[in-house]
């Protein structure tokens, strides 16, 4: 089957090799790089670690080599609103968001997919390490983990809808990173050995609080560090600088041993500290739920779940308690259940769905 495909090209080896695989399969391709922000928008001097002119030119060079048209689409307004604004607002609410999830949801498989449809493209393809299948019995598209778990990126794609999945291609889901680089090198792709960035693209220095202050133009007042009984232990420098489980940079000494952030409370501008043992919880509630194999969970279900990107899945029982909320009870206590992060559910290699963590406990 020859399809019309828009390939999202970041300038890296993954998306470039995905384009080559699709080209070899006979698809009609256009390459697309999304312009998401200017370095000045995020307080970066010179070239950042993502979305730079070098990245655009690398993507353009690969498209030229493979013989298909290449375009740069300016989605900076949408990125500002749907990703950077959401990121800052979440920290102001005492949450810790994952902006890559919002970028996939609203940009790659939102704005870009819509633009691709307007250009009469059948699919958007990306270099994500996941796999798709179609279940004829239910008539639904299913999302699966990558064949090589060390590269699996299903966690950041759990909230894709049936429409988005049905118009997506993921050519790399069955390949390892070494295979991708070897394939790119054999074809002489310019970025076969290109370094991968592990940073949030708009916060390349990792200083989230400084970005938020620049982005919002706000100053965030100092407030109390409290213990769980409400005793003042010291003073924090603004709630946007803290996340559940954090130990470094607190500047608080205690005869109780090491202290960690237990809770960020914007309602009274307080940051609650505790020992490590108090960070463990067996339950959480989550909202903004998206299910992939079905529309609703009608009875409690045994699954495995991840509460952050880099962790092993943990056995749990999931119960839908309202139209848009679930309660999750883990077999064993989990450390630092963090509001704003995603909880993603799995059944073997199948991504069942997920949501945004509201709070720990029942």
- Active-site residue set: 103, 201
Known binding residue 8? Answer is yes
Known binding residue 348? Answer is no
Taking the C-alpha atoms of residue 282 and residue 272, their distance in angstroms, rounded to an integer, is: 19
Report whether 247 contacts 262 (CB < 8 A).
Answer: no
Known binding residue 245? Answer is no
Known binding residue 1? Answer is no
Report whether 354 contacts 324 (CB < 8 A).
Answer: no
Known binding residue 343? Answer is no
At residue 97's C-alpha, the angle toward residues 266 and 235, to 5°, is 35
Report whether 330 contacts 304 (CB < 8 A).
Answer: no
Taking the C-alpha atoms of residue 348 and residue 303, their distance in angstroms, rounded to an integer, is: 9
Known binding residue 10? Answer is yes
Taking the C-alpha atoms of residue 157 and residue 14, their distance in angstroms, rounded to an integer, is: 17
Beta-bridge partners for 223: 236
Q: Residue 292 to residues 115, 185, 353: CA-CA distances in angstroms?
A: 24, 36, 6
Known binding residue 127? Answer is yes
Taking the C-alpha atoms of residue 251 and residue 246, their distance in angstroms, rounded to an integer, is: 12
Known binding residue 324? Answer is no
Known binding residue 281? Answer is no
Length of the chain: 362
Known binding residue 205? Answer is no
Binding site for ATP, residues? 8-15, 34, 127
Binding site, residues? 8-15, 34, 127
């Amino acid at each position: 089957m020859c399809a019309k495909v828009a390939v999202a090209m970041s300038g890296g080896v993954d998306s470039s090799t995905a384009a080559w695989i699709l080209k070899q399969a006979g698809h009609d391709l256009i390459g697309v790089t999304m312009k998401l922000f200017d370095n000045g928008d995020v307080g970066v001097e010179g070239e950042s670690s993502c979305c730079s002119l070098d990245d655009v030119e690398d993507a353009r060079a690969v498209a030229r080599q493979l013989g298909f048209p290449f375009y740069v689409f300016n989605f900076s307004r949408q990125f500002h609103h749907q990703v950077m604004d959401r990121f800052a607002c979440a920290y102001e609410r005492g949450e810790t968001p994952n902006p890559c999830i919002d970028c996939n949801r609203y940009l790659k498989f939102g704005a870009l997919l819509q633009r691709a449809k307007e250009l009469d493209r059948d699919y958007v393809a990306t270099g994500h390490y996941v796999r798709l299948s179609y279940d004829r019995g239910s008539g639904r598209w299913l999302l699966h983990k990558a064949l090589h778990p060390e590269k699996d990126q299903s966690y950041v794609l759990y909230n894709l809808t049936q429409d988005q999945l049905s118009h997506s291609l993921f050519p790399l889901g069955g390949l390892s990173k070494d295979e991708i680089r070897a394939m790119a090198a054999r074809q002489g792709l310019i970025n076969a050995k290109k370094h991968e960035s592990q940073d949030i693209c708009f916060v390349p220095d990792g200083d989230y609080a400084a970005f938020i202050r620049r982005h919002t133009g706000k100053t965030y007042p100092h407030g109390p560090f409290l213990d769980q009984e409400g005793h003042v232990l010291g003073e924090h420098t603004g709630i946007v600088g803290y996340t559940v489980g954090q130990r470094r940079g607190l500047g608080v000494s205690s005869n109780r041993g090491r202290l960690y952030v237990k809770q960020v409370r914007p309602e009274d501008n307080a940051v609650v500290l505790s020992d490590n043992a108090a960070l463990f919880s067996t339950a959480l509630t989550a909202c903004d739920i998206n299910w992939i194999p079905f529309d609703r969970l009608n009875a409690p279900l045994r699954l495995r779940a991840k509460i952050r990107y880099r962790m092993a899945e943990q056995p749990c029982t999931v119960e839908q308690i309202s139209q848009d909320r679930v309660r999750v009870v883990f077999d064993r206590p989990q450390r630092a259940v963090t509001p704003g992060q995603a909880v993603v559910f799995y059944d073997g290699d199948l991504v069942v769905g997920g949501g945004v963590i509201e709070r720990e406990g029942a």
